[in-house]
Amino acid sequence: MKPVKSLLPASRWLLRISVLLYTVLIYGNTILAMQYQTKPFFIAAGMVLFAVLLFAGGFTSKPALTVVSALLMLLLGLYVFYLHFVPAINQGQAIKLLLLSVSLYFVSSGNK
Closest CA to 73 of 53, 89, 93: 53
pLDDT of residue 85: 80
Block means of pLDDT (10 residues each) for the chain, length 112 residues?
A: 90 95 93 90 95 95 95 95 83 88 94 84
Planar angle of CA 95, 55, 98, nearest 5 degrees: 15
pLDDT of residue 112: 80
Segments making up each domain of the chain, as ranges = 11-109
Task: Measure the CA–CA gap between 39 and 60, rounded to whole angstroms.
Answer: 32
pTM check: above 0.75? yes
Torsional sign, CA 81, 86, 88, 92:
negative
